[in-house]
Amino acid sequence: MILSRFVDFIRCYWWQLTLFIMLLIAGGSLFPAAQLPSMPGTDKTHHFIGYGILMFPVALAKPKHFYIIALGLIGFGGLIELIQPYVNRYGEWLDFYANTGGLLCGYLLARLINKWQGRR
C-alpha cells in the first residue's frame, strides 16, 4: 500500500518532480569545479542513474505528449554535454550515451510498474 501511494504521488506531481530533477542535474553538471567530489561508482554510472531517475516520473505518468517530452529529455542530456566545456567541465559522447541509456531504463522501470498495477 505504501508503494502504491508513493507511485500515485509521483503520477500526480510528475512535472514538478521532473523539473526539480532537471535543475539538480543541470546544477550538478554545469557547476564549475576544479575537482569533482569522490563518490562510489563511475561517472557513467552516475549519468545512467541520474537520467533514469529523471525519466521515471514522466514515464510513470505517461502524459499526452510523452514521446515529445522524452525526446526533449534526450536533447537536454545532449545540451548539457555541449555546454560543459564552456564551464570548466568535460562534455563526452559516452556521457550522452549513458544519459540516454538511463532514460530508457527509467522508462522501462516505469512501464513495468504501470503494467504491474494494471495501468496503460
In angstroms, the first-to-last Cα distance of the chain is: 20
pLDDT of residue 120: 55
pTM for the structure as a whole: 0.93
Please state the rounded mean pLDDT for residues 55-68.
Answer: 97
Q: Grid coordinates in use for 9?
A: 504521488
pLDDT at 119 over 80: no
Query: What b/e sequence results for 8-38 when a residue is b if at least 16 CB atoms lie within 10 Å of its CB, and e otherwise?
Result: eebbeebeebbeebeeebeeebeeeeeeeee
Indicate the average pLDDT of the chain: 93
Residue 76 belongs to domain spanning: 2-31+40-116
How many domains does the structure of the chain reveal?
A: 1
Please state the rounded mean pLDDT for residues 47-58.
Answer: 98
pLDDT of residue 70: 98
Q: pLDDT, tens digit, for every residue of 15-45?
A: 999 999 999 999 999 988 777 667 788 889 9
